[in-house]
């Protein structure tokens, strides 16, 4: 199930058909959780989902959080922003 890259080195991302994963679910989960492998689930040769370790998920969530903060800071700097007090008044909030 391991893929080889152009240099012949083992890539830690496997592409597995969903039918195969069903037959070997526990093994696949162990490879992800303990081996640090990423598994792309395929249907008809197309990736449809991925299994990643909790560590990888935390990294992805951290990156998303950083992007959200950058977007919020950018929005605050944009011209024409409405002060919170005016927005609350417009929405009938105190």
Give every CB contact of residue 26 below 8 A, 6+ residues apart in sequence. none
Using one digit for the tens of pLDDT, what is the confidence trace for 42-67? 999 999 999 999 999 999 999 999 99
pTM for the full predicted model:
0.61
Structural domains in the chain? 2-53 (3.40.1620.10)
In angstroms, the first-to-last Cα distance of the chain is 59
Which tokens belong to 36? Answer: 């640090």
Whether the predicted pLDDT of 12 surpasses 80: no
Nearest to 13 by CA among 32, 27, 33: 32
50-86 per-residue burial string, b: 16 or more CB within 10 A, e: under 16: ebbbeeeeeeeeeeeeeeeeeeeeeeeeeeeeeeeee
């Amino acid at each position: 199930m391991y893929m080889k890259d152009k240099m012949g080195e083992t890539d830690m991302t496997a592409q597995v058909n969903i039918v195969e994963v069903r037959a070997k679910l526990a093994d696949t989960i162990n490879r992800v959780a303990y081996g640090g492998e990423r598994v792309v689930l395929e249907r008809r040769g197309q990736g449809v989902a991925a299994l990643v370790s909790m560590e990888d998920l935390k990294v992805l969530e951290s990156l998303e959080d950083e992007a959200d903060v950058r977007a919020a800071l950018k929005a605050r700097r944009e011209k024409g922003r409405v002060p919170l007090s005016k927005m609350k008044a417009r929405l009938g909030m105190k």
